[in-house]
Structure 1
Amino acid sequence: MLHRLALLTGALAIFLGFCALGVWQVQRLAWKTDLIARVEARLAAAPVPAPGPADWAGLSPADEYRRVSARGRYAEGADTLVKAVTSRGPGFWVITPLTTPDGWTLLINRGFVPEDKRAEADRLLPHGPVSVSGLLRLSQPGGAFLRSNRPEAGRWYSRDTAAIAATLGLGKVAPYFIDADARADARLPIGGLTVVSFRNSHLGYALTWFALAALWALWLGWLWRRGPAPRGD
């Protein structure tokens, strides 16, 4: 009897574990649904001025994908090409410093160029004052795709604003960059290719854990009703 009770206790613990995992996934589902709703609201909002130096310390992941705008002048001959894979195939993001009328600098992801169009002559660089609108993206330090940035070789795999600024000798820049919106013309670089997509499989995970809990409970009930297995001679 004690042996059966110990087995029952262990089986009950497993059942409760399945239920706990299901509840956790329900909580994750609520969090992810709220996150998606907040991001969609930011994408639909009108652009607000890009955060200046006084606001940099307070930026957090909650600020990602806000629609922002900035005015200033692009630095000529200071483009940084960052490896990219987009719906248009492999190529590069073109990152260019923009200095605002207030004297501070931020990086603009002006858009995508294919691998065979990486020459500076192949892409547009507006001269004089410009206005840019797009999505605020936080700096991506280190690298991406299991590859580390190699500034000394001019090989960039992530948009690390501090590292790019240091390589260009810009000093302190904003800890974010702007993914620029698409322009009306078709000239390179091509903006507006930011993919905003969040995987949300938590409902399926929750149903799986609860189904396992139900199956475990049915098996446990059958085992209990069956009683002890008959002993051999």
Structure 2
Amino acid sequence: MGLYIETRVRTDLETLWERTQEPERHQRWDLRFTEISYLPRAEGEPQHFRYATRVLPFLVVAGTGVSAGERHRAGGERVSALRFASPHPLSLLAEGSGYWRYVPTADGVRFLTGYDYRPRWGLLGRAADRLAFRPLMGWATAWSFDRLRLWCERGITPERSRNRWLLEALARVLAVAVPWAACSLPLAFASLAAVPLTVLGIAAAVLGIAAAVLVPPSSHAPAARRCLRVPPARTREPRLLATLEQP
């Protein structure tokens, strides 16, 4: 699989399963989706679903998928697998597949995902994916996993944790922007009297940048850096994935 994300959640397996498998709850914490809805299905068939992501205020990219889950496996593990595709011409992601594993531990659940996809738009799409889109997808998945962890462990709803993250991000931006603006103002006067103020402003800007980069994220706000992004060992796709056809 091209992307791998793992976190450990101190909660019971059933709570984590419900908040990841029920569409109404899933779409609350997963930054990658704006809407997820199940389609009607017959008994015993895989679950088909529709998803949508609002890329811009006026642009929504939609697609379809099929998923299946196993709730009773050896060792108490659970797994779900899916295949998905988007026919939207503006969607860089053409089709893909992935899985979630739920591994019980002594103090909670080891929750991990592996997934990959095929970009469209030929050589240009592959370049855009490698340079920007794939790193962004990895970050968004890890950030969302930590958002889910906060919901399960601390009872911080996805909406509250998102708002706290936005406030923290704004504070980091201001820590850089305000000192930088303060040192730029004396430069505009281009006088010797302004030199000390400029030096002080530059020093403050450097300190602001250091603070923005080095100060750890709040324990009440999601952070992608808390998740494991490299598999600890060679991982294999669940056999369940091979039973699903591309939607």
TM bin (shorter chain): under 0.3
Superposition TM-score, scaled by structure 2 size: 0.24
| Between structures 1 and 2, the one with greater helix share | 2
Superposition TM-score, scaled by structure 1 size: 0.25
